[in-house]
């Protein structure tokens, strides 16, 4: 595959980091273009005119968008190394199900837990904890969601392995902790012990500083109490 491969992403985005992880696991070289979301490049707008979002994978001049779509594209195009989806149709359906569960339920609830207050926050936290328990049930007895090797669901769950911890700290709440989610905690340890994964993660300190700044801006723009 000598065709040009380019990834448009953002350093702090778990979605573009997912794609990087898949490419690195498969040993596929690629060019990386860092986007400034406050000033989107003409290329980004050209290749993703509908959603105008990252990540965008450009392969031989043809764009693929939506991170889960990109992950399946990578799997199907570079079949040889490190399969991220199992062969069995039922297992594949399960992997797709859990990846969507992460995107549709887990991540939004966890994200909102960190940026809301009061009753709203309590509800999001409750929902997050339930979702995490469900995930734990899926992980039981396995080293990774993908079995013995990192798979689609592990890649999709990158947010939980790295971003969740940072956001919890910024928000001053606990979502994933060793006592309540021992299996998930063990998975996180296993996952981020992999060199390839570590290479893909944004520096924790940088992420922490970024979200702390964001929180300060949010608090500063809030109307003072009457």
Partner 1 sequence: MMASLAPPSNPSRNLVTNPRTKAPFQIAKTHPISDLLLPFRSIHTQLKLSTGTTSEKRLTTAQAVSERVEEGTTMAQGGENVKLLGAWASPFVIRTRIALNLKGVDYEFLEEVFGVKSELLLESNPVYKKIPVLIHDGKPVCESMIIVQYIDEVWATKAPAILPADPYDRALHRFWAYYVDDKLFPSVSAISRAQTEEAKAEAMEQVFAGLKLLEEAFQKCSKGKGFFGGDTIGYVDIALGCILAWLKATENMTGIKFFDEAKTPLLAQWVERFCANDAVRGVMPETDKMVEFAKMLQAKFKAAASAK
Binding of partner 1 by 219 (CB under 8 A): no
Distance CA 201, CA 153 (A): 17
Write each residue from 97 to 136 as x if it is in contact with partner 1 (CB under 8 A), else as -, in one continuous string. x--xx---x----------------------------x--
Stretch of 11-19, 65-73, 116-124, 181-189 contacting partner 1, by CB under 8 A = 65-73
Q: For partner 1, which residue of 7, 23, 44, 65 counts as binding (CB under 8 A)?
A: 65
Q: Do 12 and 210 touch, CB atoms closer than 8 A? A: yes
Stretch of 84-92, 109-117, 178-186, 190-198 contacting partner 1, by CB under 8 A = 84-92
Binding of partner 1 by 69 (CB under 8 A): yes
3-class SS shares of the chain: helix, strand, coil, % to 5: 60, 10, 35
Distance CA 163, CA 116 (A): 17
Q: For partner 1, which residue of 2, 29, 39, 90 counts as binding (CB under 8 A)?
A: 90
Between 41 and 97, CB nearer to partner 1? 97
Q: For partner 1, which residue of 6, 66, 185, 194 counts as binding (CB under 8 A)?
A: 66
Q: How many residues bind partner 1 (CB under 8 A)?
A: 22
Residues in contact with 194: Cβ distance below 8 Å, sequence separation at least 6, in sequence order? 150
Which structure tokens are listed for 148? 């013995």
Q: What is the smallest separation between the CB atom of 171 and partner 1, expressed in angstroms? A: 26
Which structure tokens are listed for 96? 């797709």
Binding of partner 1 by 35 (CB under 8 A): no
Q: Do 95 and 139 touch, CB atoms closer than 8 A? A: no
Give the DSSP H/E element, type plus range, for residue 112: helix 107-115
Distance CA 10, CA 15 (A): 9
DSSP 83: -
Stretch of 4-12, 37-45, 57-65, 214-222 contacting partner 1, by CB under 8 A = 57-65
Q: Do 55 and 31 touch, CB atoms closer than 8 A? A: no
Residues that bind partner 1 (CB under 8 A): 50, 59, 62, 64-66, 69-70, 72-73, 76-77, 89-90, 92-93, 96-97, 100-101, 105, 134
């Amino acid at each position: 595959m000598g065709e040009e491969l380019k990834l448009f992403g953002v350093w702090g985005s778990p979605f573009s980091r997912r794609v990087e992880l898949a490419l690195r696991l498969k040993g596929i070289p690629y060019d990386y273009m860092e986007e400034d979301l406050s000033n989107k490049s003409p290329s980004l707008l050209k290749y993703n005119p509908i959603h105008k979002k990252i990540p965008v994978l450009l392969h031989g001049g043809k764009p693929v968008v939506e991170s889960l779509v990109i992950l399946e594209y990578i799997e199907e195009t570079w079949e040889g190394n490190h399969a991220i989806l199992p062969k069995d149709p039922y297992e594949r359906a399960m992997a797709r199900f859990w990846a969507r569960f992460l995107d549709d339920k887990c991540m939004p609830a966890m994200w909102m837990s960190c940026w809301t207050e009061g009753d709203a926050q309590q509800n999001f936290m409750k929902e997050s904890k339930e979702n995490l328990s469900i995930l734990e049930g899926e992980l039981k007895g396995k080293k990774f969601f993908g079995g013995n090797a990192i798979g689609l669901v592990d890649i999709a769950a990158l947010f939980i392995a790295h971003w969740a911890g940072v956001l919890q700290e910024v928000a001053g709440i606990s979502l994933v902790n060793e006592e309540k989610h021992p299996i998930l905690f063990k998975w996180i340890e296993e996952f981020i012990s992999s060199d390839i994964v570590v290479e893909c993660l944004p520096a924790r300190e940088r992420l922490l500083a970024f979200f702390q700044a964001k929180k300060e801006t949010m608090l500063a723009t809030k109307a003072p109490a009457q």
